[in-house]
């Protein structure tokens, strides 16, 4: 069995792509998968299929259809959904709500305690994004006890952002399972050069590359991430 928390150095860098690709590749190998996106901001109830949770469900073979069962399917993997495309705490506050940290941790732990060969919890925003007045994303990650997979981009500035995220994890005694560079739309240098630069300062953390893929369902055609499935 393998259990991961998919986090990142920021937002819109490819967490869902990597999560869905891992789900797809595991299922292609005949492995059972449990995947969650417990907290989601920027959710449009009129178009749930294209949301992060909708993409994860599709990668699990549970495509949303617009029918009555969609809400229940979303509730199973993403119970805290908010409309505003901003940090989770701000998005919740705009709706007069809060994210109950203890409930969030319990929900994540319970799902990951099941018998699936591969278990994934996808975070929201970057590793230091706020969840509420007292908790950050890294607090949730630490409380789950899951090994983080840090997804980063290849845009200008990503080296500093990535090393800062790694430093935050190291300061909490959390060892990443891998850094995954998901190629950004704008990359000033080839991602391989970014990987080489990161490798000099990342203390031997495995670095994987996912080249940018155009078109629909790119997670079905993503680079091989099988090294993360070796413990399944």
**Is 97 tagged catalytic?**
no
* Structural contact between residues 57 and 73, judged by C-beta atoms closer than 8 angstroms: yes
At a CB cut-off of 8 Å and minimum separation 6, what does 139 contact?
A: 101, 131
- Between β-strands 118-122 and 2-8, what pairing exists: parallel, antiparallel or unpaired? parallel
Cα 152 from Cα 208, distance rounded (Å): 10
Tally of CB atoms within 10 A around 59: 26
CB contact burial 62-83 (16+ within 10 A = b; e otherwise): eebeeeeebeebbeebbbbbbe
Cα 112 from Cα 100, distance rounded (Å): 19
CA nearest to 56, candidates 43, 11, 46:
43
Cα 96 from Cα 100, distance rounded (Å): 13
Residue 49, token pair as written in the block: 């299929």
Annotated catalytic residue within 3, 15, 37, 81:
37
Q: Please identify every residue annotated as catalytic.
A: 37
């Amino acid at each position: 069995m393998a259990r991961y928390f998919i986090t990142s150095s920021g937002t819109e860098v490819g967490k869902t792509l990597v999560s869905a690709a891992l789900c797809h590749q595991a299922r292609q190998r005949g492995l059972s998968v449990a995947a969650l996106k417990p907290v989601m901001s920027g959710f449009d109830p009129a178009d749930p299929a294209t949301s992060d949770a909708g993409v994860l469900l599709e990668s699990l073979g549970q495509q949303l259809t617009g029918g009555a069962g969609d809400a229940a399917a979303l509730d199973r993997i993403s119970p805290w959904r908010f409309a505003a495309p901003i940090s989770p705490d701000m998005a919740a506050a705009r709706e007069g709500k809060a994210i109950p940290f203890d409930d969030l941790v319990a929900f994540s732990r319970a799902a990951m305690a099941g018998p699936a060969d591969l278990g994934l919890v996808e975070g929201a925003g970057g590793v230091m994004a706020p969840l509420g007045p007292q908790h950050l994303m890294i607090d949730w990650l630490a409380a789950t006890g899951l090994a983080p997979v840090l997804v980063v981009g290849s845009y200008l500035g990503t080296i500093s952002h990535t090393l800062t995220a790694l430093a935050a994890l190291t300061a909490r005694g959390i060892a990443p399972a891998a850094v995954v560079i998901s190629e950004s739309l704008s990359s000033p240098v080839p991602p391989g050069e970014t990987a080489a630069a990161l490798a000099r300062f990342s203390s031997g953390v495995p670095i994987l590359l996912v080249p940018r893929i155009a078109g629909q369902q790119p997670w079905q055609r993503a680079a091989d991430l099988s090294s993360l499935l070796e413990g399944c």
